[in-house]
Structure formats: C-alpha cells, structure tokens
Amino acid sequence: MRPKNVWIRQLQSTSYHTDNTASPRNNSVAITIFSTLVTARAYKAPHLLKIVTYVSPYVSFNIKKTIMIINLFQKPTEKCPRCLGKGFVDNDDINRLNKKLEWASGKCAYCYEKGKVNKLTVSNIPADLSYLTLERTKIERWKLILGNKKAKKRAKLYQENLNDLINHISKQYFVGELDFETIADLHFARFEKHNVSVKEKKEFIKYIGEVVKERKEKFE
C-alpha cells in the first residue's frame, strides 16, 4: 500500500532528506564490515555479500548487526502482522490497524507480498508503522529492521507530520468552523504550494471530507 494520497506522500519531504550522512569509516567499522564479508562468504550467501557492500556506507556495522543481518536471511517464519499473510493490504486490514486516513489499499509494504516475515522484522517494526509504505526504499526498510536511529527518527517525524495535518484539518473545521475550500487554501499557503491545479485542490478537498467524517465523533 502507498500513502493515501499525494498530500500525504509529500509529507515525507519535510523530514526525509536529512540523513544521507555516511557513518565515519574508521578502522573499527572497516574491520567489522570485513568480518561481515568473511562471515557472508562462510555462509555461502552471495546475496548477503551484495547487500553488505551496498549498505556499508550507510550503516555503521558491529558484530550484533552482523548477526542480525545473517538472521534476516533465514527463511521467514512469521505470518505478516499487517496483511495477515495475504500479501495484500485491503480495507479490512486498514480498518483493523486504524489507518483509514493514512493508507490506500494495495501490495503489502511490510512483507513485500510474501505473506511471511522474519522474526526480527516483527520485533523491530510495528505492523501499523505509518511510515513503512511502498514509497520507502529497500535500504530505508533495512535500516528500520536493524533499528537505525536516524531511520526511526524519520518514521517518528513522518507520523508527527501526519497527525499534525489531520489535527489541523479537524480543528479548522470543527473549532474554527471554516469551510472545506478555505481549509484547503490555508493548507496550500502553509506548505507554500503555489499554482495548485483544480484536480489537486479537488483531491485535497475530498481528503478533508474524509477527515471530517472520521473525526466527527471526537468533536461532537
């Protein structure tokens, strides 16, 4: 599944591009990367070798992470907690995980349609993590699984931005008693979005309607 609509998709840009800093490549990092490569070879895992080479500039390695990565290559045994093994997130899953205002149905971004995941994934990524959609790169997913602090921070920021957007709309409608059109204009002004097309505005107004419908009980 992807974020519900283009407006939610854009939220990531406010916090997403802050972390491309490679970890300092000091000797101990180099040594642990080397030992990972040696272990990967011993395990006869060419795909692991490839991934280690690919992610090494991004993740600082240590023995614990090396073991975690090796564990990831074991056959996944756990039923995907997001799609319940279907490989597809439908409206029932979206309701169950309370993501109606956040996700659109589609391929499961948690298990990549496999229906099963590794234990490590289940223990490190909550099934309802809003940030983990098909929009994320594989590297970002790896970082989340391995508990990378910066990736976790991006996920947290994304959720905060999303909550902020939904709360803003709700307050403007229920407390400020503004109409959909005005709320949309204020939103575009807030995010400095100029030259918004009629179609984009229509889509956002539709989203405001969904927020109002979902939040009605809370404000009555």
Nearer to Zn ion, 83 or 145 (CB): 83
Nearer to Zn ion, 115 or 147 (CB): 115
Q: Does 132 bind Zn ion (CB under 5 A)?
A: no
Select from 15-23, 28-36, 110-118, 163-171 the region that touches Zn ion (CB under 5 A).
110-118
Q: Does 83 bind Zn ion (CB under 5 A)?
A: yes
Q: Does 144 bind Zn ion (CB under 5 A)?
A: no
Read off φ and ψ for residue 102, nearest 5 degrees. -120, -35
CB 101 within 8 A of CB 73: no
CB 138 within 8 A of CB 94: no
Q: Does 51 bind Zn ion (CB under 5 A)?
A: no
Select from 42-50, 51-59, 104-112, 120-128 the region that touches Zn ion (CB under 5 A).
104-112
Q: Does 80 bind Zn ion (CB under 5 A)?
A: yes
**Cβ 83 to Zn ion shortest distance, Å:** 3
> Measured between alpha carbons, how far is 203 from 186 in angstroms, rounded to an integer?
15
Nearer to Zn ion, 72 or 166 (CB): 72
**Cβ 4 to Zn ion shortest distance, Å:** 18
**Cβ 40 to Zn ion shortest distance, Å:** 27
What the block records as the tokens of 146 is 């391995």
Q: Does 108 bind Zn ion (CB under 5 A)?
A: yes
Total number of residues binding Zn ion (CB under 5 A)? 6
Q: Does 99 bind Zn ion (CB under 5 A)?
A: no
Angle in degrees, 0-180, between the axes of helices 63-72 and 46-55, rounded to the nearest 10: 130
Nearer to Zn ion, 80 or 101 (CB): 80
If one counts every other C-beta atom within 10 angstroms of the C-beta of residue 80, the result is 24
**Cβ 119 to Zn ion shortest distance, Å:** 15
What the block records as the tokens of 131 is 């940030």
Out of 110, 142, 204, 207, point to the residue binding Zn ion (CB under 5 A). Answer: 110
Out of 82, 136, 154, 187, point to the residue binding Zn ion (CB under 5 A). Answer: 82
Residues that bind Zn ion (CB under 5 A): 80, 82-83, 108, 110-111
